[in-house]
Amino acid sequence: MSEQTKNIETEFSRLETLKVIISGGGTGGHIYPAIAIANSLKEMVPSADILFVGAQGRMEMEKVPEAGYKIKGLWISGFQRSLSLKNLLFPIKLLYSMYAAKKIVTEFNPDIVVGVGGYASGPTLKAAQQNNIPTIIQEQNSYAGVTNKLLAEKVTSVCVAYEGMEKYFAEDKIIFTGNPVRKDILNLQGKREEAAKFFKLDPNKRTILVIGGSQGARTINESIDEGFDKLIYKGIQLIWQTGKTYYPIAKKTDFRHQTSLVRIYEFIKQMDLAYSMADVVVSRAGALSISELCLVRKPIILVPSPNVAEDHQTKNAQALVEKGAAIIVRDHEAYGKLVIKAMELLNDEELKTKLITNIGSLGRPNAAYDIAIQVLKSAGKFHLAKPVAAFENIQPAVVENIQSTITTQSEKTEELKTPQPVKTKKAESKTGTGSQIENKEFTGQEKFSHVYLIGIGGIGMSALARYFKGVGYEVAGYDKTSTDLTKALEDEGIAVHYDDNVKMVPTEFKVKDDTLIVYTPAIPDNMWELNYFRHNGFNVVKRSQVLGVLSKGKYTIAIAGTHGKTTTSTMVAHLLQSAGRTNSAFLGGISANYKSNIIIGSNDGAMVVEADEYDRSFLTLEPDIAIITSTDADHLDIYENHAAVIDAFKQFVGKIKKGGTLICKAGLNLKPKQGVKLLDYGTPESKCRAENIRIENGLFTFDYVSPTASIPNLELKVPGFHNVENAVAAITVALHQQVKPEQIVEGIKTFAGVKRRFEYIVKTDKLVYIDDYAHHPAELEALLTSAKALYPDRKVTVVFQPHLFSRTKDFAKEFGTSLSIADEVFLLDIYPAREAPIPGVTSELILESVKAASKRLCSKANLINILSDIETDVLITAGAGDIDKFVEPIKELLLKKLTVNS
């Protein structure tokens, strides 16, 4: 081959691109999926040339250019099912559009044509098929339209969103992708506060969202108007999208009431915030609406429009109803019934939980990418796609699909050079972490100037962030939810964002040789940013690995246990610090004394570390002194059973350095290796123990006794028998470190505790409000037993938010037993954290086992209203989820009550 020929071929390959026509529209249900597909194609092939073909006078002629794409319009409209003069023009319009579509297709010469439904789709795909150009149909509904059924015989493939579509299309052409949706609705976690500010509504009040499609819905609007008074009377907030036609009528209704409970819009652009604010959604049953609702996981009432082709909305809705994922109200029944049904659903916690669980299992967040992949495959242009590592917004499930396609294509295209997939390994079943990409080995010898933390808002991760910031590194991170802790990090100069999107990572943190990536094991494997860094060769390590390296070479005091470790480690750190030691500490809570979860000491000082058993993280540590407070069954989503939990603690004990000391709660049956000293505590017979425990002036007071020391009359500000035990362990460490008894007395007396560990929010003679992190049955038992001991003749009311579906499933009866210590119990919905719902697992499981005199389920939206209606004496909020967001509103409510009653 001559040099000139090579140059020509090289130049030709540079000019090669992807040309796509996307045709259809008419409604938002066709337009927005089409734009989502185009966006995914542009991300995979930035040079792609995409042309839209729509119908003149329809909304696509406005919305597509707004999205940045070219569009040509056909003079086309639909055939009316009823007698209409408009039908006389239909044959003329059809013939003209067929001619115009053929001209567009010939001139643009696309590699492939995609039909998304709507009037323009038929002529355009027909013209492409006549020119032997590959075609794809994206059928959004559960019932195929006439045009798509006619076109299907010659299309390359049909992308569908519902099961059972074999009755309309050839089975070998069907690809189940789901419907594409806008990206901003894929992560709503933690956006309710932001939504409340945007809509100027109360985040703690129940809210109904009404959406009638992009053009509104007459029946829904009239039904809401009819029931408007009922909603206002019950104090229910309403976000109401009316469409353009009904908007003036709705505003008149709103003006008549002059209420702050209602927000009315022609069209809502910030749908992520609208969904975040909603407790119940009322909607038509268009394909796009349903696809979005499956992803936002809200209880929904569907009112199918009867005025659509083939009555497809009723079929869409019925598909969800049959799976227990939605409620249907027929269009002719809606007036007089819809608002009542919505109000009933608002108050039915069990039904809402069921609907959320079932609809959540139907979501397809990768639909736009999956369809884009099929477009590239069918066009024979997949080799133009960027390498996998470059995809910043793509989810791991799609990466796998892309990588397998790349492998296939590369067999046919010698010129293609793509990165090989990162090798994966299947973790042993006992770790419960599933398939993961291997991390690079981290030694601490690497030279980094930047540290990026994924899950930075976690209590342990935020301590690392503060540490690295404090010793001179540039620090940034991601978390899914804005909290007081992440806001504090931002105030300290650490950049934090809340959208799982690599484009939001500061540019300077995308230099792999300069940046260390740290993540918490609670982060799921399909997290976009995590996989971006892994696939691009960054040094990605777990938090536990970093702690292991930082503690290496230091005198390490590690405190472990399924509960009690946070207070104990914070107490140890305070006793050393108040005695003038320059120790460092990584804590699992915010110390009330130091207003932080990190203490940065001198290089030669000891390091106090809270040793986390989750994911066996504590096995990276090699302590000189270890405290073990408890080994109860927990994290059974990670450990197969209680025996596996105990086995992990035995391994941790084996990590204690020779010549070290194990301070262990009595009865745990943990024996250290030879050369490690064992001291037990927690019983009257223990070597280290509390004696003469009593409550004086509202304080737990006790005497400390051990083989080496006796310290009388220790006064502990933080209440609870369990905290007396924690203090015994902490004092034993302090004595081991040569802290003097008189310094210990002062240190215990001045120990102010840990935020959310038996934290007094309100403390008066008439009313007490305590907030606590308790999320395990044993922790709840300790919390409520201590409260009863301090306030024996007063009514104790507890509001508990279960944490994790798996923990609720494993310990429902035990939670019920612990909560029965209280006089009155309110159970919130389960906080999912890192988990997807487990069918049949709700707070109801716990409620069944509660024996308290008064018990009930309660939604977060109703909590403040319920507490305002009851008399409280000693109130406790408990849980590890987002219940802490209610602390200030509850405090405000209780102080207001005190003022009114005084």
Q: In this predicted model, what pLDDT tens digit does every residue of 359-386 receive, in sequence order?
A: 877 777 788 888 998 899 889 887 776 6
Question: What is the per-residue pLDDT for 834?
Answer: 67
Q: Percent of the chain, pLDDT > 90? A: 44
Q: In this predicted model, what pLDDT tens digit does every residue of 468-492 receive, in sequence order?
A: 999 899 999 999 888 889 999 999 9
Residue 536: pLDDT above 80? yes
Residue 674: pLDDT above 80? yes
pTM here?
A: 0.54
- Residue 721: is it exposed, middle or buried by C-beta count within 10 angstroms (0-12/13-18/19+)? middle
Residue 9: pLDDT above 60? no
Question: What is the per-residue pLDDT for 370?
Answer: 86
Question: 404: which 2 tokens?
Answer: 């397998």
Residue 727: pLDDT above 90? yes
Q: Do 703 and 714 touch, CB atoms closer than 8 A?
A: yes
Residue 517: pLDDT above 80? yes
Residue 13: pLDDT above 50? no
Question: What is the per-residue pLDDT for 386?
Answer: 61
Give residue 282's identity as a one-letter amino acid code: V
Residue 679: pLDDT above 70? yes
Name the residue with higher pLDDT: 332 or 401: 332
Q: In this predicted model, what pLDDT tens digit does every residue of 641-658 receive, in sequence order?
A: 888 888 999 999 999 999
In this prediction, residues 156-173 reach a mean pLDDT of: 88
Question: What is the per-residue pLDDT for 623?
Answer: 94
Residue 422: pLDDT above 70? no
Question: What is the per-residue pLDDT for 635?
Answer: 64
Question: What is the per-residue pLDDT for 407?
Answer: 42
Name the residue with higher pLDDT: 77 or 15: 77
Model confidence band, residue 266 (pLDDT cutoffs 50, 70, 90): confident
CA distances from 884 to 224, 494, 563, 755, 890 (A): 34, 23, 19, 11, 10
- State in Å, rounded, how far the first CA of the chain is from the last one: 98
SS3 892: helix
User: Rounded CA gap, 343 and 322, in Å?
Assistant: 22
Residue 392: pLDDT above 60? no
Question: 567: which 2 tokens?
Answer: 């207070």
Q: In this predicted model, what pLDDT tens digit does every residue of 312-324 receive, in sequence order?
A: 788 888 888 988 8
Q: Are strands 300-302 and 874-879 parallel, antiparallel or unpaired?
A: unpaired
Residue 420: pLDDT above 70? no
Whose tokens are 């002194």? That residue is 625
Model confidence band, residue 350 (pLDDT cutoffs 50, 70, 90): confident
Question: What is the per-residue pLDDT for 742?
Answer: 96
User: Rounded CA gap, 118 and 22, in Å?
Assistant: 11
Highest mean pLDDT: which range of 95-99, 339-343, 361-365, 635-639: 339-343
Residue 748: pLDDT above 80? yes
In this prediction, residues 596-617 reach a mean pLDDT of: 87
Among 6-20, 662-676, 833-847, whose mean pLDDT is lowest? Answer: 6-20
User: Rounded CA gap, 38 and 25, in Å?
Assistant: 14
Residue 553: pLDDT above 90? no
Model confidence band, residue 412 (pLDDT cutoffs 50, 70, 90): very low
Q: In this predicted model, what pLDDT tens digit does every residue of 795-839 receive, in sequence order?
A: 999 999 999 898 999 999 999 999 999 999 999 999 987 677 888
Question: 694: which 2 tokens?
Answer: 């009593």
Give residue 676's identity as a one-letter amino acid code: V
Residue 524: pLDDT above 80? no
Question: What is the per-residue pLDDT for 342?
Answer: 94
In this prediction, residues 885-897 reach a mean pLDDT of: 92
Listing from the earlier edge strand, what are the strands of the sheet with 759-763? 759-763, 768-772, 874-879, 796-801, 824-827, 854-857
User: Rounded CA gap, 165 and 431, in Å?
Assistant: 40
In this prediction, residues 876-884 reach a mean pLDDT of: 92
Q: Do 221 and 254 touch, CB atoms closer than 8 A?
A: no
Question: What is the per-residue pLDDT for 158?
Answer: 93
The total of other beta-carbon atoms located within 10 Å of residue 735's CB is: 19
Question: What is the per-residue pLDDT for 5?
Answer: 40
Burial 636-665 (b: 16+ CB within 10 A, else e): bbbbeeeebbbbbbeebbebbbeebbbbbb
Model confidence band, residue 86 (pLDDT cutoffs 50, 70, 90): low
In this prediction, residues 276-295 reach a mean pLDDT of: 88
Name the residue with higher pLDDT: 730 or 149: 730
Q: What is the 3-state secondary structure (H, E, C) of 517-563?
A: EEECCCCCCCCHHHHHHHHCCCEEEEHHHHHHHHHCCCCEEEEECCC
List, in sequence order, every residue forming a beta bridge with 798; answer none if it has no partner: 825, 876
Question: What is the per-residue pLDDT for 256?
Answer: 65
